[in-house]
Copies of this chain bind each other. A is one copy, B any other.
Amino acid sequence: MTIRPVPPDPNHNYTNSALRTGDVDPYPQRQVGEFIGTVVANKWVNKEYKHVILKVHPHALKAYAGQMFHLLCPSPDGAEVWMRRPMSVYRVDKDAGHIEFLYKCEGRGTRGMAMLEPGDDFNVTGPLGHGFVLEPSWRNVVVLGRGVGLATLAPLSQLAAENKIGVTAILSARHPDVVMSRDLFEGLGAKTMTVLDSDGTSAVDNVEKILEGLIAHGKADAFFTCGSNRLLKLMQRLGKKHNIPGQVAMEQIMVCGFGACYVCMRTFEVDGQRLLRRVCRDGPVFNLQEAVGW
């Protein structure tokens, strides 16, 4: 065999350069794409959370509330970040061609993400999974979230507004500085209330009272929650008591995001039987009553 010599390609030698491909697909017929988005903004919302806006390929704009993307975060330190990070889509702006994420800066991936600057590439795969579903018969729904969970629940307000469904959003947080998404909910016509650890209003008893009040006033055709095991249990109890359907968005460590690897399992209870489901593909949104919590 004779091999024609070829000068080395300096951009194609190593792991990351090769792995940072993407955007190769977007066939219209594919449900999911690996897209190279462009960062439009990436700002601090408070001391712990940032909000990133990406200009993306139009196919990525199919995402709806509760669906997620799998993000290939840049390295914060020059060593590789090995796995993608799952994030719920926080907002889809079809006119601008943007998708947005609200994220807590914690580990290496999210700290790397925090370093993104406008104009940077950001490789995102999605939209993935099944999101929230709104029944046409519902008039008013209650959204109850805490921490990162609020990022997942926020686009429900968008979906509800499109479907002319009223939303009451109860936002739970440690203290007033880390309440998030209120503007987004209110901007889309939702009524919001904030409950805090710092003044004791976030205690389960108090939230229960609020929920019972909403139920009594016909504001709770369905329940939605994410981000707190305590609040999940509460909504399950009240949902059962008043026969209110509900949905919960779950989290689990992921590898593939497509349903292939069985890493992202969570326990559910269906007809008294415990079973495992994949958060990435069978969820991330599940029947409130079936989730076993964590």
Contact = CB atoms under 8 A, between A and B. Distances in A.
Interface of A: 10, 13-17, 20, 74-75, 77-81, 106-108, 111
26 contacts: A10-B106, A10-B107, A10-B111, A13-B107, A13-B108, A14-B79, A14-B108, A15-B77, A15-B79, A16-B75, A16-B77, A16-B78, A16-B79, A17-B77, A17-B79, A20-B77, A20-B78, A74-B78, A75-B75, A75-B78, A78-B78, A78-B80, A78-B81, A79-B79, A79-B80, A80-B80
A116 to B, nearest CB: 12
A80 B17 CA distance: 11
A108 B17 CA distance: 11
Interface centre among A17, A78, A81 (most CB of B within 10 A): A78
Question: How often does this chain occur in the complex, in copies?
Answer: 2
A10 B17 CA distance: 26
Contacts of A20: 77-78
Nearest to A75: B78
Contacts of A107: 10, 13
A77 B77 CA distance: 11
Contacts of A14: 77, 79, 108
A27 to B, nearest CB: 28
Contacts of A78: 16, 20, 74-75, 78, 80-81
A12 B79 CA distance: 12
A20 B107 CA distance: 18
Contacts of A81: 78
Nearest to A112: B78
A106 to B, nearest CB: 7
A251 to B, nearest CB: 19
A5 to B, nearest CB: 17
A13 B112 CA distance: 13
A74 B77 CA distance: 9
